[in-house]
Amino acid sequence: MITVAIAEDHQALIDGIQSYVRYEEDIKIIGHANNGEELLKIVRLKQPKVVLCDIRMPKLDGIEATKIILKELPYTKIVAFTMFDQDEAVKQMLGAGAHGYILKNSSLDVVLEAIRVVATGKTFYDRKLHLPNTQKNSSKSVLSSREREILQLIAKGRTSHQISEELFIGKSTVDTHRKNMIRKLGLSGAGELLRYAVEKKYEF
Amino acid sequence: MITVAIAEDHQALIDGIQSYVRYEEDIKIIGHANNGEELLKIVRLKQPKVVLCDIRMPKLDGIEATKIILKELPYTKIVAFTMFDQDEAVKQMLGAGAHGYILKNSSLDVVLEAIRVVATGKTFYDRKLHLPNTQKNSSKSVLSSREREILQLIAKGRTSHQISEELFIGKSTVDTHRKNMIRKLGLSGAGELLRYAVEKKYEF
DNA sequence: AAAAAACTAGGGTTTTTCCCTAAAACTCAA
DNA sequence: TTGAGTTTTAGGGAAAAACCCTAGTTTTTT
């Protein structure tokens, strides 16, 4: 029997998972929390084999919670369950010691699979995830890494001139990158690119 | 029998809801989509009585989708189902004609309740929601309604010139509004305003 | 080694924003 | 109802930013 605790901001999703798991004979959900602090209490008390854990949570986020849990109870297996498919989020969560990483836009079957896999001591990464191998993926993306770097700054509302100063390159260079990105992405104008940049930060 | 379509970015949540609703005799989920465009197709084809709709979705957001659906099929009841408990999101969704608004951190029982209530023609607002007093809030807002209207268009990446044509006013007028908003919000430059506009649309 | 892609950049043109000023319309309270 | 304050409207010119064309250098891929 695999005992599981869920930490998840959205009660609706917890309810859904519980309903879905109810008739699985090998998995039992022994507790759930809506924030990181609650999760810690539950884990200390009930010592689940697997923790399913959102990254964005009130009070204590999933990354910090993971570190604390693994320090206190190193045999706990932790699966990150989140909407973020971003370099930083994945990197930090894995850095904290998570054993699996699945995305909320995957089906609940993937969740069950992940729980079963990490329970055996193996790791599990969502097939939709495209960035643990940071090297290869950067080349597959439409935008080059330099372009993405510049896009990050554009997303903050910076102008080409400001960006050129931050990156120690010429304004014209930033302009060129900007132009290329607009072309690659099929956009028209600086405004649309900025909009794209801000929205894509959260990986729609 | 209440027929329901779900539009939701996160497949995991759709699976959960479907599992949860399976044994409810009066509610039947006849389709689900992971983005706004898919939702439109399903709604046109199957004409559900109730649509459960996330705000943030790829391709077409919940607000735009709601407007389109209600124009084509005015008897459809739409419930916004989202993580955002923010003025702007609620206001816009209700402005688009939504009949209910529930939060993802409420339990799935609330979802069922909302579906049943709006199906009878009534409206349903999550108890956790704390801003239906639209009058007071809009006057309390820093920006005037015209300014917010323009900010909407700025958020789409439009230039002052484009906005002036859409609103049938002079470019200089849009410029002035833009300048006043930058001042009121304590920002510097068009880029930061655009960033603000895109982010604050859903108040992340 | 050649080809392709990425990164760099200058200079000139066009577009957009920014700034100052100001009038008409509307709002709300004295 | 008068008057002060706010909102919406707008012009013209200066400044800034973006856009376009071209092109050399470096890096990566084939």
Q: B79 or B23: which carries more pLDDT confidence?
A: B79
State the DSSP code for B14: H
- Please name the residue that has the structure tokens 């994945």: A90
- A178 C-beta less than 7 Å away from strand C: no
Computed over every residue of chain A, the mean pLDDT equals 84
Instruction: Determine the distance between B86 (CA) and C24 (C1') in angstroms.
Output: 35
Task: Judge: B156–A204 Cβ closer than 8 Å, yes or no.
Answer: no
CB atoms within 10 A of CB B24: 13
Tokens of B142: 């820093």
Q: What's the pLDDT tens digit per position in A105-146?
A: 899 999 999 999 999 999 998 887 655 443 323 333 577 778
Q: How would DSSP label each residue in B65-85?
A: HHHHHHHH-TT-EEEEEES--
Instruction: Determine the distance between A7 (CA) and D1 (C1') in angstroms.
Output: 64
Q: Which CATH architecture has domain A141-200?
A: Orthogonal Bundle (1.10)
- A144 C-beta less than 7 Å away from strand D: no
Q: Break chain B into its structural domains and give their ranges.
A: 2-134, 142-200
A2-134 has which CATH code?
3.40.50.2300
Residues in Cβ contact with A68 at an 8 Å cutoff, skipping those fewer than 6 apart: A40, A60
Determine the pLDDT at residue A5: 95
Q: Which residue of A has its CA nearest to B160?
A: A191
Q: Is the pLDDT of residue B104 over 80?
A: yes
Q: B134 or B109: which carries more pLDDT confidence?
A: B109
Distance CA A105, CA A109 (A): 11
Q: What's the pLDDT tens digit per position in B59-82?
A: 788 888 998 999 899 999 999 998
Contact call for residues A116 and A90 (beta carbons, < 8 A): no
- How does strand B100-103 pair with strand A2-7? unpaired
At the topology level of CATH, where does B142-200 sit? Arc Repressor Mutant, subunit A (1.10.10)
Max Cα distance, chain B (Å): 60
